[in-house]
Amino acid sequence: MIEKSSAEKIAFEVETSEVCEGSSIPYDQPSGGWWYNLKDSFKRADVDITGEGLTDHEKQLQKIEKSPLKKNLKNRHLQMIAIGGSIGTGLFVGSGACLQAGGPAGTFIAYAVIGSLLFVTVQSLGELAVAYPLSGAFSVYNSRFVSRAWGFAMGWNYAIQWLVILPFELVVAGMVIQYWNDKISPAAWVSIFYSLIVFINFFGGKGYGEAEFFFSSVKVISIIGYIILGIILVSGGGPNHEFIGGKYWHNPGAFRHGFKGLCSVFVTAAFGFAGTEMCALAAAETVDARKSIPKASKQVFWRITLFFLLSVLMVGLLVPYNDSRLGTSSYSAKASPFVISISNAGIKVLPSIFNVIILFTVLSVGNSSTYGCSRTILSLAEQGFAPKIFTYIDKKGRPIPATIVTLVFGLLSFLAASDKQGEVFDWLLAITGLCAIMTWGSICACHIIFRKALTVQGRGTDELAFTSITGTIGSWYGLIGYFGVLAAQFWIAAWPFQLADNIGDRIATFLQAYLAVPVVFCFYIAYVIWNREFTFFNGFKNIDLDHGRKAVDLDVLRQEVAEERAYFASQPWWWRWYNIWC
């Protein structure tokens, strides 16, 4: 055997070493063959904690800052996650439940209101995520800017939301397959889709990014195609050559159940937008968060305007709200309203093609839910809100235990073969029904507190690489708007369209519509009592504005920001306008 020279050894070490992002510990690729390398990749990537005499809280902050999650997500990934990340069964199937409950006008208004609230929320979240690109994102922000008790409650609120969405999406996949063949057990199809999601998540953040880039591309193309088709059909250009126009807005009508019908669809519409905040959750795994996240945040405006509002408008023009194929919930619908509208036009084959696209969206949202839940559980563990085992991140940047818990919970999807699936998912969705609303409202509150803390501590927005277009005014609008949605949902829960005669049924109906709110406050109270932490608000002067900042030298950052703003101001108006919104 010929021994390698010193130079060759050094070259080999340079070629085969990989430094975990945010960690000072190098990851040396072993050379024992692919099987050995595979096994070695699952070993823990530890994080060095520097400094003496650190408190437990300071150690937790360092662990979050130096998370060995790999920065595999590039600008193109973030763009497609922002544009198509939340386009899923909430829109393709859930819009049918909205249409059935509130009518076409009620559905359009509900989506527009939630969309406007979400736009200002993502702007606020983008500002925070660029300043603090931490694993767990808004879970950490709640602990830092409000209190640890609130961070615990909202972190688990968000994790539970995604825990439920994964099996829910897989059940919807089995339901969509039955459009072609209802003889085969839905559990067989669930197994196939579940296996695909497990396979994608084996590749960690990179697998999520590449899969979401592909899925979102398919969804975006299909939505644009449907909007064009919808305009043609409404104008009388379909095979039936029937001019539809606003026919169904007159008969059976634009609204159903009046103002109460409108209020009843806010939460369903919010469910359709769930996942929009994912681009900020991925900040810790993004190559250049400072440039990628602002662009991704701006893309939300176009997605809300073009993809959601125009497609919902087309559905409302093409499908009457009393169509028997529309269900009262996303999993009970016999067909997507998008598919119903194409079938009503007499177009062959295309309904089946669109159902295939819906299956892609199921995979996409299932993939996102696994990613979102695992990263949130990881963040909770790093903050001391979950067992330490969930802080385990392997050398490839995969949070293995957190991902396994998420996937194990996904096995609930096999309830698709049970006669009780509707009852089970009624209660599962009851726990998560308002989770998104409370998460978004809390993000707005964190942004308001963050800006106030900057002012109180004698600092300003000149040290922020990206600031929200709508500022704190937008965050106040979002916070007040979400409180309004919660109030409207309370009204619907307490006084539904049909009041049951049995008191037990009335309580069950109320809890299924409003259970998420008391669950969050139970988490909050349990944390306060168990840990005896009675700090309900950290206080503006006590808020830590420095740990986790992307740029340590604030003077250099201020100079860079000033130069960027001066360059921006020197450009033509049309260039400035384009870059503000795009």
Distance, CA of 166 to CA of 337 (rounded, Å)? 22
- Contacts with 577 (C-beta within 8 Å, 6 or more apart), sequence order: none
Distance, CA of 207 to CA of 230 (rounded, Å)? 34
Domain ranges of the chain: 6-38, 56-496+503-530+538-550, 554-582
- For residue 87, the model assigns a pLDDT of 76
Distance, CA of 37 to CA of 110 (rounded, Å)? 52
Q: Which of 337, 329, 359 is nearest to 268 (CA)?
A: 329
- For residue 313, the model assigns a pLDDT of 93
Q: Which of 283, 306, 307, 266 is nearest to 125 (CA)?
A: 283
Q: What is the dihedral of CA 554, 558, 561, 567, to 10 degrees?
A: -150
141 DSSP 8-state letter = H
- For residue 55, the model assigns a pLDDT of 60
Element (H, E) at 24: none
- Sign of the C-alpha dihedral, residues 12, 14, 15, 16? positive
The burial class, CB within 10 Å (0-12 / 13-18 / 19+), for 444 is buried
Give 193-258 as a DSSP string: HHHHHHHHHTTHHHHHHHHHHHHHHHHHHHHHHHHHHHHHHHTT-STT----TTHHIIIIIS-SSH
> Which two structure tokens, joined as six digits, stand for 65?
């800052």
- For residue 444, the model assigns a pLDDT of 95
The number of beta carbons lying within 10 Å of the beta carbon of residue 41 is 17
Name all contacts of 3-10 with Cβ < 8 Å and 24+ positions apart.
none
- For residue 485, the model assigns a pLDDT of 92
Distance, CA of 326 to CA of 330 (rounded, Å)? 9
Amino acid of residue 472: T
Please give the chain's pLDDT, 582 residues, in tens.
344 444 444 444 433 444 444 443 444 445 567 666 666 665 666 666 665 665 665 565 555 555 555 565 666 666 666 666 667 777 888 788 888 888 999 999 999 999 899 889 988 988 898 888 776 667 788 988 999 999 999 999 988 888 888 888 887 777 777 777 777 777 788 888 888 888 888 776 677 778 888 888 888 888 889 999 999 999 988 887 888 888 999 989 889 888 888 888 888 888 778 777 776 666 656 666 677 777 777 777 777 777 888 999 999 999 999 888 786 555 555 568 898 899 888 888 888 888 888 888 888 888 888 888 888 898 888 888 889 898 888 777 778 888 899 999 888 888 766 776 666 666 776 677 788 899 999 999 999 999 999 999 998 888 888 888 889 999 999 999 999 999 998 998 888 877 767 787 788 788 878 888 888 999 999 999 998 888 888 889 988 888 767 655 667 777 877 887 888 788 888 888 877 776
Distance, CA of 146 to CA of 433 (rounded, Å)? 23
- For residue 284, the model assigns a pLDDT of 57
Q: What is the CATH number of domain 56-496+503-530+538-550?
A: 1.20.1740.10
Amino acid of residue 350: L
- For residue 53, the model assigns a pLDDT of 61
Amino acid of residue 533: E
Alpha helices in 85-202 (DSSP H): 89-92, 94-131, 138-145, 148-177, 186-201
List C-alpha distances in Å: 126 to 122, 260, 377, 548. 6, 34, 21, 15
Amino acid of residue 156: W
